[in-house]
Each structure stands twice: as structure tokens, then as C-alpha cells.
Structure 1
Amino acid sequence: MARRIPQSFIDDLLARTDLVALIGERIPLKKSGRNHMACCPFHNEKTPSFSVSEDKQLYHCFGCGESGNAISFLMAYDRLDFVSAIEELAARIGVDVPRDAQDGPDLRPLYALLHTCQKFYREQLQSSEGQAARDYLAQRGIGPQTMERFAIGYAPAGWDRLATKVGIDRETRRQLQLAGMLVVRDGKTYDRFRQRVMFPIRNRRGQVVGFGGRVFNGGEPKYLNSPETPIFHKGREVYGLYEALQANRRLERLIVVEGYMDVVALAESGITNAVATLGTAMSQEHFSLLFRHTNRIVICFDGDSAGQKAAWRALETVLPEIRDGREVRFLTLPAGEDPDSWVRTHGAEQFIDAINKAPVLSEYLVGRLAQLCDLDTVDGRARLAALARPMLEKISDPVYKSLLASQIEEVVGTAIIKRERTTVDRRRGEKSRVRKKPLVMTPLRRVVAFLLVKPTLAAECGDWGWLSELSMPGLEVLHNVVESIQSVKTPNTAVILERFREAPEYQALKRLLGWAEHVPETILDDEFYAALKALKASARTQKLDELMAAAKERSLTPEEKALLKRLLSQPDVHK
């Protein structure tokens, strides 16, 4: 799958990615010299040993040895596969991931077509026919700037207004149907959305992938969403995320609400970090998406019974995504209130204050379970423990799991889970407790390590043609590293390392890079040239011995004789 994405695109993507910003959105970094430091997110530690290099666009933990580039970090921290990590980085800088024919049909026409639909609905909202929709939005307190920011539109009355205006030929109508904009029933084609306020649903790159339509003059259903299409999957998208990312350079938190109007109304009040699900319950994939952009999420559903049931389902769903450093709060609104009505009544400042005082996940969970049990009785406390155990089992982070269990145990008065001998780092493996054998740094390994940490050395030291003439174990790896450096216009460490992701020597190269990170920059160049000189001497001596031994058993070829003559003429061969 990785090979289907052009290497040149991956190189450019890594060159344009700010690794410090990417990691800083997930864990707190502190400037330390030329690098940024933090406690490692991949093993348990109290003293920061996790270093992020802005120059090299690499991270390295001096404690557990974990290292890599932006792609590696997303794969390890966000638990994405390779292609998803590429897509995540592409979304951050607003570009599409190029694909070849093996990846299926070209979906760009669908994106372009939905953009045209959005434009049509915007025009209709501004027309005389859209006056009633504009009046409705004004009544809800939504001003022109907010309408513009969310590209709100209007689907006019009539069965085929969109089909007539946009579906200018048979192929376009087929594409409109594929995109969920037209419905075919009993041999007739008509618009899916009619006489509704239209909310375009945009992905993180700002591409329209679907629509939500709301009635404003009676009728059912109140909300109508696009169906599942090749570019729209309700379980993977949330409404308002693109707009939140555009309005906030750094998202301190995201507020999850139930409806489009809640998101828009909050934005009108100056609260620009709200998102909404698309007519479905919050999924683990939704939470995974949101946690890529912030470590703090607030669940703020309506105050009615259905809203509170949805909040509890959200709690159960988020448990596998919870880990040390992430925070989820639950804001319970009064019955009959939703975020839109609450903010209009009490104001944005009080809403933010209520969020700051809302219980975190652990408090909300224990509080809700306590309401179901009589804690004054043994049976009641036993029931609470029984209800809590399966929820604790959903938590993969051992630190958070242990802390939450301790909080519940304070209520029930007894241990409710069996703790392993080592309660931290089971999810991340044994890397924090297993010491790898120290590397034996031969001249060859030193040269490779220094080239990885400072690729410009490859051009500074002249011709590498001697690599093809000599033979010794490992020279092929060096040749591949040099070749990769020479093939990149502006090589940096992150780009070069990425080119070996699928190679057998990838892990070995990461270890060498980790070793080189310990070498002070002031002596790095001298150390490189000393290692290169020693490597050349060793390789020449080995090749010379091979040729001399061969000459005793057979006649050398003309090429071998010429190489032997050159090797013998070099004074430093025996040094």
C-alpha cells in the first residue's frame, strides 16, 4: 500500500511538516537548547528524555530508544496505519494524497461536484426565494459572517431545482446520484434536499463531502443528512472540525455537541471550537479523530433523557482512547436546554465557566454508577464494583486504568481489579525495562550514523565511486544511504530515514541514528571524516587480501589487475 503513494510526495510532505508543532499538539514540549524536550509518551518516566529536533524533524527518546519522523510518531502515538498517517499529515497542510489506478476510482470529480452544489445553495440563500431561510437564521441569532464562515445555504422548494441547475448532462446526474444529492425512485429523479437550510459538511482539508439539511417551517425529518457515499462516511467525520481548525491555530479543547445549529450558534457567540456528530452516536473513530487535534474534549449533549443517554454511550466509547495526558469532561445541561439555547440565555462566558467546572470522566463515571447503587449496603457497593469492572477492561492505558480503579476502590472499599506486577507500560511493551545490547560502533556504522544525522556530509566529502569497487559486509547499506541522500533535492534526516521504512535494515538504521544523537555537533564532522578514513582503509585492505589470495589460485582478470594496481598505489591502505 505504501508504494502506491509516490516517494516524491512523501519526501515533500515530511519537508513541509513541522514535527515540533505536531508533537506539541499531543504532549507538552519545553525548549531546551536547539531541541524540545518532554517526558516520553512511549514509556513511563519522571525525568524528560524525549527529544524533538526541529532541524532534523526527528524525535528520539534517550531512555527507551524510540525514534522516528512525523509518520512514525502518528503511527505509534495515534495508532494509525502508514497510509492513514500520510493522509493525516496531508490534511494538516491542505493537500490531497496522490494515488495510482490500483487505488480505485478517481474521487476528485465528486469533490468538485459537491463544491458546485454548495455554491448553488449559497446563491439560493441570497436570492429573493431564500428570504424565509435568512429570516429563520436571523431569528436564531446567526449573522452574515457566521453564515459565510460555515457556507450555510438554502435548498429551494421544487423537486428538481438542483438536478436542473447542476445536473446538466447524464454523466453529471449520475455523479450527483453517486454523491447522494439526487434520489431515483420509481424511475423518477428528484433532489434529496428541498426547502431546507443547508449545512455543508467539510473534511479537514475543507472539501465538501456531504450536506445536512434542516427544515425551518415545519415538516419531518427535522434534520436530513447525506447518505453514505464513496467520499462521505458518518462514522469518520464530524461537523465543524474544519471550521474549528481554521479559527484556532491551536485547539486547546474541542466541545462535542449534538446538532449543526449548536455548533453554528456557539460560533456566533465566539466559541469557535465546537463540533457535532452527523446523526450518529460518537464512535471510537470519532474520538480518535478528535484526539489527533487536542488532548481535551468536552461532551455537551442536550439536557433531556436522550441527550444524557447519548453522553453515557460516549463515555463507554471513549474508554479505549483514554490515556495519561488526555482529558474528557461531561457538561450536563438542565432539562430542556441545548447548547444553543443555554448560551443565548446565559452568555458565552458562563458557558465556558460551566465547562471548566464540569466533571472529568472519572468523576462523571463514578457519580453516575453511584446513582444506580445503594452505597450504604454491601450489596450496593458490590454492584458498583461489578458495573465498573467491564468498563475498566476497556481502558488500554495501564496508568489511567490503575488510577481510575483506585478512585472506584475508595468508594467500594475493596480492590476491584487484579494489578500486574508492572502496572505501567504494558501497552507500549517492555522497552522501558529491557536493555538492548550496546551497539559495537565499527567505522562503517559510524559513517552511516553520521550521514543519517547530517545528510549534507555526503556531498561535502566528494566522490563515492569507491563503494562499487570494494566489498565488505554492510557496504551495500552505506551505498543505499548515500544513493538516497543524492536522490533528494534538499535532504534532511526525516526524509532519508523514511525511504528505508520497508527495508530490512530500517530498525538498525534507527538505532544508529539514536547513537549519533549523543555525539556533540562540535565534533561531529571530525568524527565522521575519521570514521570514513578508517572505513576506506579497512575496506581496501580486505579487498586487497581477497585479490592477493585469488592471484595465488588463478589468473586475475584485467579488471581485477587494474583494481589491484590502484589499491597498491594508495599509501594509506595498510594504516
Structure 2
Amino acid sequence: MIPRDVVERIRERADIVEVISDYVRLKPSGRNFKGLCPFHREKTPSFVVSPEKQLFHCFGCGAGGNVFTFLMRYEHMSFQEAVKALAQRYGIEVPEVRTGSRREGYLQVNRLALRYFRERLLHPREGRPARDYLLGRGIEPKMWETYSLGYAPPGWEGLKAFLQAQGARLEDAEEVGLLIKGAKGLYDRFRSRLIFPIEDQRGRVLGFGGRILGEGEPKYLNSPDSPIYHKGEVLYGMRPARDYIIGEKEAIVVEGYFDVLSLAQNGVRNVVAPLGTALTVHQLRLLKPLVEKVILLFDGDEAGKKAALRGVEALVEEGMEGEVVILPPGEDPDSFIRTRGREELLRDRRPALNFYLEELIKGFDLDSPEGRFKAAGAVVSFLQRIDDPMRRRFYAQYASEALGIEEEMLLSRMDFSPPSSTEHKALLPTEEETLVALMVQHPEVISWVREAAVLEHFSSPVLREVAEEALRIEEEGGDPRMEIPPLLEERGVGEGVFAAAFTEGEEALERIFKDCVRRIKLKSLRQQREGLLQEIRRAEREGDEKLLQALLLRQQILLKEERALVRGAE
């Protein structure tokens, strides 16, 4: 475990607005900051960050917590991993923590592999073929460092021997795809290849891509999906591009590794690429909190156009703004920027929906009635996927002019019934959630809870356990404000608690506390009376007078306690 004093020092240094701003574009809103929630799809910002409370909460989906729980939820980390990540960010030394988790083992073996590939690239003799190739493509050493490029030499067991010497588990290396099991044992997957590490936004290496140097197939080889790497959920170049994406408020999506490197080499730094797949909604969700629009920049061949069309479909599904640039035939972003420069690169950008509709209509014979009918059907099918009614109407008008039919004919074929919403709506917090929120926010409430003896009346066993843990932490000299939010996240009961933390006011703290205690006890007493009533009826049916008298006496006691609580509120 990381010592509490170290965790407390990290909490004091880590500003929640600063940290979350790396993931979400926040704008001032009164005393708080607001942005689009990174945990669910929305168009109107409902994600609020409070610098005063050092908490975040989404009033749309209910997600909430402190700086640790944000990283836990967004980066899929444990509490210990979130603490270490923030410690690294703020330059605070943390005693080495061995979590023993499989995920950490996979990440560690990838870190070692990257070290090996980097050393091979820079080796005076072994790395020369890769260095010459990079320089020949116009990629200079500064970019090698920025994108952590590496080299896998021709041998079959170079990486394997290195990992063994470092004490790594070869089973982990096999599971993440670095090694392959053959008839004679394990051997290196990547050989004679320039290596592109595939990182998440925090720089953790999830997988690798490799470009063959010399003869061989396939030309490009990627790590297979693994417990830590799913190619449709990661964007190449996201870590070095993120700050530039935030600054430009737009991201350029290209097709391949060298497109990214070449654009970055020539000063276009807000650029990323999917990994051998069509752009997915999962990848767009990495960009959505950071941008106002996404620019799809693809080759001018048929494959490039198809990739752009699939990208627009993903943009529409995720409700994001976009533009498309299709380069001239025979050009790709790498060749184009080297011959024509960055100023010309995005000159022909056009709205993504315009591009999609134009390409869609091109696929039909508009000179025949049947062709126009089928084209109209395809257009209607696409337009119905656009959420915004006004935008849908404008593009219906645009498509009707292209098809030569009346706009109302298109609109009449659309189903305007509202889609069934699966979006979670956060409910009002319960009294128990509000009380736990007070314990998290205000240290003095801990002693009040202990004196009120209210926890035995909780109806939620999980919230009762969390509250009891807060009492224990306070007794041991810890800080519940720091340690309880991650526990709420892990137990899945944080939504109502953090909603309450955002709505309660300090000026009425004692009144809110007393009201919560009264309501919790009243609810508990009424539940006890309901259960007691069933026992009384059973005793009457069975003619057990002695038990009946005892139950009636207990009923009177509960009624007396209930009346006292009601009078106390008057």
C-alpha cells in the first residue's frame, strides 16, 4: 500500500481542473467549470468540475468523484495506479508498489520491449538500416524521440533473450503478442521491422506496429488484440498529439503511421490515425471531449474514399462535427505535404455530411426512375441517423436538389418517432447518499455520525459499509475525503453521493445533517413497524397471547420513537 501521507500530499498537489482539462475541454461556468461528459454521449454540457470541492459530477449520467476516481473511471485504473500516475505528473516520489495484477505485468513487459526496440534503433551498427530508412522518408531524429520509434533486428530470438535477461514472464510477452509459440518454442513476432509503439494518452505502451524493411510480407504487422490492447479503441499518435488537438480544437485523422509522422515532421501536430481499421466510435470518444470538429484526411483512391465514408458514419453515430479532405489521385498525406506544403493540405476541406451525400448519390443511376428511387431510399436511411432535426432538414433540402425531387417527398418517408433513449438519467440522491456525501466533504460530520448512531438504520448495506469505513479511516488518522471516493467508485454506489455533494450548501450543513438522520431513522422505524405488523397478524392467527402482547408493546415503543422524530422536525 502507498503510505497515506504520500497519497495526501498528492491530493493536495493535484488540481482536479488541471488534470481533467487534459481529457475534457472545460469552460468556466460561475464558480465551476463545465464540458461535455467523457462517459456518455451528449450534445449539451452537463459535466461539471468544482475547483472548490475538488470534485466532478455529470448531471446527465451520474458519474462523479475526485481526481483519483476520474482517472480510475476514464483510464480503467485501480486506485493505486491512479495515485502513481498523479505522483509521476507532479514529481512526487512514491515507494514502489507491486500490485501483482496481470495488467501491470502486461504493461511492464511492453515497457521492456520498447526499451529493447529503442536501443536497437540507436545501436551504431544494428540500427543503421532503420535509421537510414527513416531519414530517407524525411523523418528526423527529433520525431524518433517524440514518437518513441524503435527497430526489431532480423533475429528470431533477440527480444526473447532480452526479456529473459530482465526477468520478465515470457507468458505475459506471449499474451500481448510480442512472442509467438512455434514447434520449437517461443520466438519474436517482430523481425526486420521499424517499430511504432501504440500508446494510450498517458504514454502506457499497449501494443506495437511494425513496418518491414526490405523484402517480406505483410508490409505492416500489428500486435494482435490482447487483454490490454484493442485496436478499435486506440489512436496512434494520441499522446504526442493531445496538447495540439486541444489547442487547435480539432483533430486530423489520417490512415497510417507514416502519414502521422510526416505531417508532424512538417508542423501539423494535431494528427492521429486508426490502427488498420475503419475509424470507430470508440476512437472518436477519445477525441470528442477535446475538439469541436474532426477532419478526415484520406488518400484519393477508392480505399481512401471508402475509409472516409465509414468515418463520416461514425461521426454521425457519435453526434460529432466533421470535415473531409480527399487528396488528388496518387497522393497520400505523406507525399502531398512533402511536395506541396502544409498550407495546401486542408484547402479543399468540405463538410462531412455534404461529402457523404454526394458520394452516396454517385452510386446510383439518376437518369432512371428506379435509380433515383433507390438513391432516395439510401438518402432517407442516412438522414434518419442525424440527431439534430434542423440539420436533418437542411440536408434533406440539399439532397432533394441533388436528386431532383421535392424535399417533402424525402421528409414524408422518414420516421420521426423519437428513438427509445437508453441514456441513464441520474436520480435525486437518497438521504443515505446525502449523509455519506457530507462525510466525504466535511470532516466534522464524521463525529456527528458516530454520536447519532444512525448507521444501523441504513437500508443500503453497501453504503453502510462505506460509511463505517469512513469512521475507521478517521479513527486511524486518515482522510475520508481522499479515501472514500475511490471506494464509492469501486463499489458502484458513487453517483447519488456525488450528486448530493454538488447540491448541498455549507451554510446549512448542520440542518441538512439532522434532516438526513431524522429521515433515515423514520424510514427504518416504519420498515420495522411494517415487519412487526406481519408478526402481530401471525400471532393473532395462531392464538399466541404471550407473543402477541410482546409484539404490541414493541409496536408502541416504535410508534413513540416515530412521533418523537416527527415532532423534532416541527
Name the TM-score, length of structure 2 as normaliser: 0.69
Q: Is the 8 A contact 1:458 1:485 kept in 2?
A: no
CA 1:191–1:413: 2 relative to 1, 3 Å: same
Asked if 1:528 is matched to 2:533, the reply is: no
Cα displacement (A) at 1:275: 1.8
Asked if 1:261 is matched to 2:258, the reply is: yes
Asked if 1:109 is matched to 2:102, the reply is: no
Q: 3-state DSSP class of the match of 2:337?
A: helix
Q: Which residue of 1 aligns with 2:3?
A: none
In structure 1, distance between residues paired with 2:445 and 2:203: 41
CA 1:121–1:247: 2 relative to 1, 3 Å: farther
Cα displacement (A) at 1:339: 0.8
CA 1:376–1:11: 2 relative to 1, 3 Å: farther
In structure 2, distance between residues paired with 1:541 and 1:179: 56
Identity %: 28
Pairing partner for 1:123 from 119, 122, 136 = 119
Q: CA RMSD in A?
A: 5.5
Asked if 1:491 is matched to 2:481, the reply is: yes
Pairing partner for 1:341 from 335, 341, 360 = 335
Pairing partner for 2:356 from 362, 365, 373 = 365
In structure 1, distance between residues paired with 2:485 and 2:111: 36
Superposed CA deviations along residues 494-541 of structure 1, whole A, max 9, x for unmatched, are 668757745xxx88x57x956x8667x474236437747977998999
Cα displacement (A) at 1:180: 2.7
Q: 3-state DSSP class of the match of 2:357?
A: helix
In structure 2, distance between residues paired with 1:338 and 1:523: 62
Q: Which residue of 2 aligns with 1:193?
A: 190
Superposed CA deviations along residues 379-404 of structure 1, whole A, max 9, x for unmatched, are 55433211223334555677765664
Q: Is the 8 A contact 2:435 2:516 kept in 1?
A: no
Cα displacement (A) at 1:111: 2.6
Q: 3-state DSSP class of the match of 1:239?
A: coil
Pairing partner for 2:445 from 458, 476, 481 = 458
In structure 2, distance between residues paired with 1:83 and 1:522: 28
Q: Is the 8 A contact 1:20 1:53 kept in 2?
A: no
CA 1:573–1:328: 2 relative to 1, 3 Å: closer
Asked if 1:57 is matched to 2:46, the reply is: no
Pairing partner for 2:64 from 66, 69, 82 = 69
Cα displacement (A) at 1:365: 1.2
In structure 1, distance between residues paired with 2:277 and 2:525: 70
The amino acid of 1:69's aligned partner reads G
User: Map of 1:276-425 to 2, 5 A cutoff?
Assistant: 276-291=273-288, 293-321=290-318, 323=319, 326-351=320-345, 353-354=346-347, 358-373=349-364, 379-394=370-385, 404-405=395-396, 407-409=398-400, 411=402, 412-414=405-407, 415-416=409-410
CA 1:310–1:88: 2 relative to 1, 3 Å: farther
Pairing partner for 2:421 from 427, 448, 466 = 427
Q: Is the 8 A contact 1:541 1:574 kept in 2?
A: no
CA 1:89–1:33: 2 relative to 1, 3 Å: farther
Asked if 1:233 is matched to 2:243, the reply is: no
Cα displacement (A) at 1:151: 1.5
Q: 3-state DSSP class of the match of 1:238?
A: coil
In structure 1, distance between residues paired with 2:220 and 2:277: 12
Asked if 1:179 is matched to 2:164, the reply is: no
Cα displacement (A) at 1:364: 0.9
Q: Is the 8 A contact 1:13 1:89 kept in 2?
A: no
In structure 1, distance between residues paired with 2:460 and 2:225: 53
In structure 2, distance between residues paired with 1:429 and 1:458: 34
Superposed CA deviations along residues 462-489 of structure 1, whole A, max 9, x for unmatched, are 74244379x7x97999967854654562
CA 1:396–1:143: 2 relative to 1, 3 Å: same
In structure 2, distance between residues paired with 1:35 and 1:107: 35
Cα displacement (A) at 1:335: 0.9
Q: 3-state DSSP class of the match of 1:211?
A: strand
CA 1:419–1:25: 2 relative to 1, 3 Å: farther
Q: 3-state DSSP class of the match of 2:360?
A: helix
Asked if 1:87 is matched to 2:76, the reply is: yes
The amino acid of 2:189's aligned partner reads R
The amino acid of 2:512's aligned partner reads F
Cα displacement (A) at 1:171: 8.0
Cα displacement (A) at 1:331: 0.9
CA 1:114–1:500: 2 relative to 1, 3 Å: closer
Cα displacement (A) at 1:200: 1.7
Superposed CA deviations along residues 79-126 of structure 1, whole A, max 9, x for unmatched, are xxx997561898998859x9999xxx8243333223222222222222
Which is further off, 445-454 or 224-233?
Answer: 445-454
Specify which structure has the higher proportion of helix: 2
Q: Is the 8 A contact 1:43 1:431 kept in 2?
A: no
The amino acid of 2:352's aligned partner reads L
Cα displacement (A) at 1:225: 2.2
In structure 2, distance between residues paired with 1:169 and 1:517: 49
User: Map of 1:436-451 to 2, 5 A cutoff?
Assistant: 449=434
The amino acid of 2:343's aligned partner reads E
Cα displacement (A) at 1:196: 2.3
CA 1:86–1:230: 2 relative to 1, 3 Å: closer
